[in-house]
Amino acid sequence: MSADPLPGWEPALLSAALVGTSRRPPPESPAAWPSQPDVPAEQGLLDDAALWQVARRAGHRPRTQEDLREPAPAEHLPTAPPAADQLLGLLLHQPPVPPTMVRPLLRLWVTCCADADRVPEPSRLPALLDRGIRDVGLREDLARLRSARLRWLVGLREEWRLPPATDEAPVHQVPDEHEWARTPAATRERVLAEVARHDPAAAVRLVRSSWATDRARERAALLTVLGQRPHPAAIDLLEEALDDSAVGVRRAALAVLDRLPTSPRAQRMAGRLAALVTVQRRSGLGRLLGRGGVRLQVERPEAPDQAAQRDGLDEPDEGSRTDHWLTQLAAAAPLTWWTSLVGAGPAQVWQAVPDEALRRGLVTAVSQQRDPAWAGALWPELESPPVEWLDLGPAEQREAHALRQLDAPVQRTPLGRAVAAEALLPKVPGPWSAGFSRRVATLLLDEGTGLSRVPVQLLASRLHPEALDVLEDARVPEDARRAVGQIRQHLSVSQSIREAFR
């Protein structure tokens, strides 16, 4: 925010109002403000106070005539329908849902507004921008609105700054090395995560700038942040971290490199694996049918040398050592290496791999490298795909899998279903389909046990509005009535928001 051009004006106005204009004359009105000459001091104070409140809501501070901006431009898009505006007013000032559920509903409202190519009423914009100060997701949603007045307001206050729209050049603030060095360790991870979202190379430069003086625990934590959005820009730093004297730093570097299949370390692991794998191509009817045309013969690895240990091959806690090393090699090798080796897609690679240790490594590699094509191809081959795959496969596939898990015989006790719901549902991205939502609502209302573990705000924000029928018709146990009531409120408001923009 720019410096106040009239320092002390607001406190002086308040002081005069508190002690009385006869004892303390009010300050002169800013030169740019409308005023009436020859009015009593108390009337002038009330006029200034009224203008001050309007100015604050619009994002202004009192300014001199020289500092006046151009007036707000006119909107070129229609404003939100009256019903939608009424709902926004309720969410901002008298929310009909608990505070924890207001945020997703506000984001839904702004998203629907942007999708309908409309803009909020001008009077709502300051309150929306204030909400966005501490909500990165809402700021990103607001940036989608094609509101001329919103952009004008954003220029008035630094804390209202929005991320760039898709057609704008990105402008991001990256702290310099001196600012980074002065940043407390407790807030560095948050700052680094924000920088890495927009400029991964700049994030790596920040970590490098303090690497020599940071403690081992801090270095490991910063590498973990970089691993949240792994980027090739970090590869050189991660390779150097493999030689760090601290075990925690080396482990953090390996965890990030596991997610970077283009790294030299991934290529080295593939090279070690290539020395153990022989491709056998068969002929005949099996090859013509695409079944069994390729088979991989695997040799057992020898104990890892020093270079392999540096790349993460270690001793198992239990079980076969050679199986453990094969699994580690397969987990760290690029998935593209397998398809190039076999000359076929993921499903054919899986059929060509006879070794269970290698298959375990492939499953881990899919989880670490976050490959949707591999997850979709291997999903039918596994009796129980990893929970980490639930946000990789198509919506129909992951929802069907989650339902199978929730309705499995072993989960058909109240406690078993509750535990399964707690583990599975947060991993299934929303919004959920109507059929899945209705079935989940039915299962969770069975004796109310599911609602004891799954966060209410998660269910409210992901369930489809059609689940409202199930919740309204169900006989709700006493201990679940409050949670069901909150979910009903949320679904009802979200349904009203969508209908208001149709």
Q: Is residue 266 part of a domain?
A: no
The continuous run of DSSP H or E covering 220 comes out as: helix 216-228
Which residue among 353, 383, 413 closes a domain? 383
Q: Are residues 108 and 53 in the same domain?
A: no
Q: Averaged over 298-321, what is the pLDDT?
A: 94
pLDDT of res. 63: 55
Q: Are residues 200 and 231 in the same domain?
A: yes
Is 205 within 8 Å of 233 (Cβ atoms)?
no
Is 261 within 8 Å of 255 (Cβ atoms)?
no
CA gap 459, 438 in Å, rounded? 12
pLDDT of res. 390: 82
Predicted confidence band of residue 351 (pLDDT cuts 50, 70, 90)? very high
CA gap 382, 376 in Å, rounded? 11
Which residue among 40, 67, 94 closes a domain? 67
Q: Is residue 248 scored above 90 in pLDDT?
A: yes
Q: Are residues 343 and 436 in the same domain?
A: no
* 3-state DSSP of 112-150: HHHHCCCECCHHHHHHHHHHHCCCHHHHHHHCCCCCHHH
Q: Are residues 241 and 314 in the same domain?
A: no
Predicted confidence band of residue 172 (pLDDT cuts 50, 70, 90)? low
Measured CA to CA in angstroms, residue 455 lies from 27, 187, 398, 411 at distances of 53, 27, 20, 19
- Specify the length of the chain in residues: 502
CA gap 292, 280 in Å, rounded? 10
Q: Taking all residues of the chain, what is their mean pLDDT, rounded to a whole number?
A: 85
Q: Averaged over 260-280, what is the pLDDT?
A: 95
CA gap 325, 336 in Å, rounded? 20
Cβ burial, residue 43 (10 Å; 0-12/13-18/19+) = exposed
Q: Is residue 87 scored above 70 in pLDDT?
A: yes
pLDDT of res. 451: 58
pLDDT digits (tens, 9 = 90+) for 413-432: 767 777 778 878 888 888 89
Q: Is residue 264 part of a domain?
A: no
Q: Is residue 137 part of a domain?
A: yes
Peptide bond into 5 cis (omega under 30): no
Q: Are residues 309 and 332 in the same domain?
A: yes
Q: Is residue 269 part of a domain?
A: no
Q: Averaged over 378-394, what is the pLDDT?
A: 84
pLDDT of res. 144: 92
Half-sphere exposure of 222 (CA within 13 A, CB side): 29
- Of the candidates 484, 501, 473, which has an alpha carbon nearest to the alpha carbon of residue 450? 484
Q: Are residues 154 and 220 in the same domain?
A: no
Q: Averaged over 74-99, what is the pLDDT?
A: 92
- Of the candidates 254, 364, 257, 272, which has an alpha carbon nearest to the alpha carbon of residue 312? 254
CA gap 453, 437 in Å, rounded? 17
Q: Is residue 106 scored above 70 in pLDDT?
A: yes
pLDDT of res. 2: 40
CA gap 347, 234 in Å, rounded? 32
Q: Averaged over 292-315, what is the pLDDT?
A: 91
Q: Which residue has the tokens 């007013």?
A: 89
Q: Is residue 61 scored above 60 in pLDDT?
A: no
Which residue among 355, 383, 411 closes a domain? 383
Q: Is residue 339 part of a domain?
A: yes
Q: Is residue 389 part of a domain?
A: no
CA gap 398, 428 in Å, rounded? 7
CA gap 437, 444 in Å, rounded? 10
Predicted confidence band of residue 96 (pLDDT cuts 50, 70, 90)? confident
Predicted confidence band of residue 283 (pLDDT cuts 50, 70, 90)? low
- Of the candidates 382, 344, 352, which has an alpha carbon nearest to the alpha carbon of residue 366? 382
Is 79 within 8 Å of 120 (Cβ atoms)?
yes
Percent of the chain past pLDDT 70, that is, above it, reads: 86
Domains contained in the chain, number:
5
List the beta bridge partners of residue 277: 298
Predicted confidence band of residue 464 (pLDDT cuts 50, 70, 90)? confident
Is 464 within 8 Å of 495 (Cβ atoms)?
no
Q: Are residues 143 and 239 in the same domain?
A: no
* Cα dihedral 96→101→105→108 (10° resolution): -170
Domain that holds residue 141: 82-160
- Of the candidates 5, 56, 64, 70, which has an alpha carbon nearest to the alpha carbon of residue 30? 64
Q: Give the lowest-confidence range in 310-314, 366-370, 389-393.
A: 389-393
Q: Averaged over 124-147, what is the pLDDT?
A: 91
Is 332 within 8 Å of 362 (Cβ atoms)?
no
CA gap 21, 440 in Å, rounded? 65
Q: Is residue 262 part of a domain?
A: no
pLDDT of res. 168: 44
Q: Are residues 222 and 192 in the same domain?
A: yes
Report angle CA 144, 147, 152 to the nearest 5 degrees: 115
Highest mean pLDDT among 78-92, 156-170, 484-498: 78-92
Return the beta strands (E) in 263-412 as ranges.
277-281, 294-298
Q: Is residue 5 scored above 60 in pLDDT?
A: no
Predicted confidence band of residue 7 (pLDDT cuts 50, 70, 90)? low
Q: Are residues 292 and 349 in the same domain?
A: yes
- Of the candidates 320, 280, 281, 279, which has an alpha carbon nearest to the alpha carbon of residue 301? 320
Q: Are residues 44 and 92 in the same domain?
A: no
Structure tokens at 341: 């080796």
User: DSSP labels for 67-111?
Assistant: GPPPPPPPPSSPBPPHHHHHHHHHHHHS-SS-GGGHHHHHHHHHH
What's the helix, strand, coil split of the chain in %, to 5? 60, 0, 35
Q: Which amino acid, 28?
A: E
Report angle CA 463, 469, 472 to the nearest 5 degrees: 105
Is 249 within 8 Å of 241 (Cβ atoms)?
yes
Structure tokens at 199: 């400029």
Is 473 within 8 Å of 445 (Cβ atoms)?
no
Q: Averaged over 450-471, what is the pLDDT?
A: 79
Q: Give the lowest-confidence range in 85-99, 180-194, 253-267, 479-493.
A: 479-493
Q: Averaged over 243-266, what is the pLDDT?
A: 96
Q: Which residue has the tokens 């609602």?
A: 451
Q: Averaged over 357-384, what is the pLDDT?
A: 92
Q: Are residues 360 and 437 in the same domain?
A: no
Q: Is residue 267 part of a domain?
A: no
Q: Are residues 153 and 93 in the same domain?
A: yes
Q: Which residue has the higher pLDDT, 213 or 451?
A: 213
pLDDT digits (tens, 9 = 90+) for 22-34: 888 888 877 667 7
pLDDT of res. 28: 80
State if pTM tops 0.75.
no
Q: Averaged over 401-410, what is the pLDDT?
A: 78
Q: Averaged over 447-470, what is the pLDDT?
A: 75
Q: Is residue 3 scored above 70 in pLDDT?
A: no
